[in-house]
Structure 1
Amino acid sequence: MHHVRRTAPTLALCLLLAGASACTAPDSEPPPAPAGLTAQAGSATTVHVMWNAAAEHDGVTRYRVFEGDRLVRELPADKTMVDITGLTPQTGYAFTVKAEDAAGNLSPAAPTARATTPAAKAEDRSAPAAPATTTARATGPRSAQVSWSAATDDTGVTAYDVYQGGVRIHTAGPGESGSVLTGLQPDTVYTFTVRARDGADNSSPDGPPVDVTTPPASGDGPGTAPADFTAAASPGTVTLTWTAPDTGHETREYELYVNGKPTTVIQFGIGAVPSGRAEHRLTVTEPAGTVWAVKLRARLPDGNWGAFSAERRITLVA
């Protein structure tokens, strides 16, 4: 019996028989390896693994996280950090990450990041004290430096977690007092807080919040976020104050978000637009103790919404 080896038609024959659309070569090029991989022990049984987001043109659809040769997590492309749990105290671990595109092509592994979990502390239920101070400054349109003072704990701080809008976005080691955060948006106000964590995964309360405004990207013009935003609760009322963005025109319309969702549009009538500081009072019926996270943005002269103000958390009162 003779075996005949079948080969793909030449490009010219393919075009003749099937047309150009049927002759597109399959995607066989893998995305590049993820960059900026780090691993930091957060407790005796957890390690926080982070890496930089892939560029949009790389077409990454998900990431695979490995401990040694073992696949431990799969994440969608919009997630670039994960806590690996269930680990053994006082043990060294090696992590790497691979990116995968829509065609199933897998990138090379990122350079290995290593972390060693600390010893477990029996019956440790005491949380660390919160960092006493937090500072921040923009280092560019898409990055900011956040710094904090050292916290104390009866068994020792093992990590510092940076939060933005109530979501943890970064974890640093116990000996670190600051970190550069990347992947931010230009012309945006961010509010950061820092918590200390010990080897038993007890987290401190938030340290003091700090605002930082990233500058507009080159050529984007002046900032569009309302400045110096404040929110204060009194019985049955929430009072919001802010300074209008400098757009060259009166700003008559603002969109208010509560707990991440748009809830109302604040409008000032002709002749009633405040100069300098603006104020608006909301009547509330929710029960005392309800927590709101509030922020707002302005309608720009071109009809689009501008950047968000800082977000403020308030507790409603009776």
Structure 2
Amino acid sequence: MPGGDDADDGPPLSAPTGITAQAGSATSVHVMWNRPTGTAPVAGYEVYRGSVRVRKLAADRHMVDVTGLRPTSRYVFTVRARGTDGDLGPAGRAVTVTTPAAVAQDRSAPTRPSGLRGRADGGRAVSLSWGKASDDRGVVSYDVYQGTTKIHSVTGKETRALLTGLRPGTAYSFTVRARDAADHVSPPSTAVRITTSGAKDKDVERGTAPGDFRVTARRSDGAYYLDLTWTPPRTGGEVPAYQVFLDGKQATTVMWGEDAPKDAAKYSFYIGEDAGDRHRVKIRAQLPDGTWGAFSVERAVTTHS
């Protein structure tokens, strides 16, 4: 009967969110993602390099190291969820990464990262920072471990990481290891033990908010524009997108992708032609796991004649 079977199909699979790819060495890339936001059950994930499936993983896996790659090569990765019926959902956003050059006669592992520090950023996030490791050829990436399990990776230029999706009121132990282009891994840093707060609300924590947020109104060709400036939150990676809220409602999403600013950001948009209008503006950043961070401070601005 028409439509008779569709009602039993359940909700469709949506795409995995928060996909990132970080070169771990000259021949490997660490791919991470978050589960789809929909309610459809997920049986597993498939990771693709271009159009080629390179890994097939269980539903509880949200990261993988893809090995056997070429140095100084550009790769595009996508991830798709697989339903309990075996069907695949849509691909998440494609992410591009370039592996570094191989280094000849690199026989030494990096030194261990020093001075690992951390703080609970509320009930669901932890911020880590550490001192740079040294290597005879250069550090390519840092791997973050929870106990003995690798849970995160950042570029060798970063010495901090933001870990989200944690449980309130839970004790964690973290270490960091440095990795060079030849896949040599340092000894682990000293462990830092952190207990998240007992807060059970789902609000994202303060450390994920953009900083130094400013708004000014500008008149040009008979119309008004709002000029926004801010400092990206330090997440241990690029922030690919921001949501802009105007007078309490989402006005637009600013997408940067690979060209995301690291130290200072700015954006302008049309607001109207009327002088004397007062507006409230705030923004929030997309985090590495695909969720949205805390809001910046809210600024008020008036379009003057």
Name the TM-score, length of structure 2 as normaliser.
Answer: 0.62
Instruction: Give the 3 Å change call, closer, same or farther, for CA 63–209 of structure 1 in structure 2.
Output: same
Q: Which has the larger radius of gyration?
A: 1
**Unaligned stretches of 5+ in structure 2?**
202-305
- Matched residues, percent identical? 50
**Do 1:41 and 1:118's aligned partners in 2 also have CA atoms closer than 8 Å?**
yes
Q: 1:88 to 1:10 in 2, by over 3 A?
A: closer
Number of positions where the alignment pairs a residue of Structure 1 with one of Structure 2? 201
Change (3 A) 1:210 1:201: same
Residues 30 and 100 in structure 1, CA contact (< 8 A), matched pair in contact too: no
What is the rounded CA distance, in whole Å, between the counterparts of 1:76 and 1:42 in structure 2? 22
Paired position in structure 2 for 1:150: 132
- Residues 1-318 of structure 1 mapped to structure 2, 5 A cutoff: 8=1, 25-27=7-9, 29-54=11-36, 57-218=39-200
Where does residue 244 of structure 1 map in the other structure? none
Say if 2:14 and 2:37, in contact at 8 Å, map to a contact too: no
Instruction: Give me the TM-score of the superposition, normalised by structure 1.
Output: 0.60
> How much has 1:26 moved relative to structure 2?
3.4
| Alpha-carbon spacing, 1:122–1:103, altered in 2? closer, same or farther (3 Å) | same
CA distance in 1: counterparts of 2:163 and 2:187, whole angstroms: 21
Q: How far apart, CA to CA, are the structure 1 residues paired with 2:139 and 2:77?
A: 23
Aligned match of 1:230: none
More strand by share: 2
Structure 1 residues 25 and 127: CA distance shift in structure 2, 3 A = same
Check whether the contact 2:168–2:200 (CA below 8 A) recurs between aligned residues: no
- Which has the higher mean CA deviation after the structures are superposed, 141-150 or 83-92? 141-150
What displacement does 1:116 show? 0.8
Residues 60-114 of structure 1 deviation map (CA, whole Å, 9 limit, x = unaligned): 1111101111111111110000000000111010001011221234222111111
**In the TM superposition, what is the alpha-carbon distance from 1:24 to its structure 2 partner?**
7.6
Does the CA contact (< 8 Å) of 2:13 and 2:38 recur in 1? no
Instruction: Summarize the Cα distance change of 1:27–1:153 in structure 2 as closer, same or farther, 3 Å threshold.
Output: same
SS of residue paired to 1:25: helix
> Shift of residue 187 of structure 1?
1.0
Q: Against the structure 1 CA distance between its residues 81 and 213, is the aligned structure 2 distance closer, same or farther, given a 3 Å change threshold?
A: same
State how far apart, in whole Å, the 2-side matches of 1:190 and 1:10 are.
50
Is there any run of 5+ residues in structure 1 with no aligned partner, and where?
Answer: 1-7, 12-22, 220-318
Q: Distance in 1 between matches of 2:135 and 2:3?
A: 70
Residue 202 of structure 1 aligns to a residue whose secondary structure is: coil
1:274: which partner in 2?
none
Q: CA deviation at 1:123?
A: 2.8
Q: Give me the whole-angstrom Cα distance separating, in 1, the residues matched to 2:11 and 2:184.
A: 44
1 CA distance for matches of 2:40 and 2:197? 27
What is the one-letter code of the residue matched to 2:45? Y
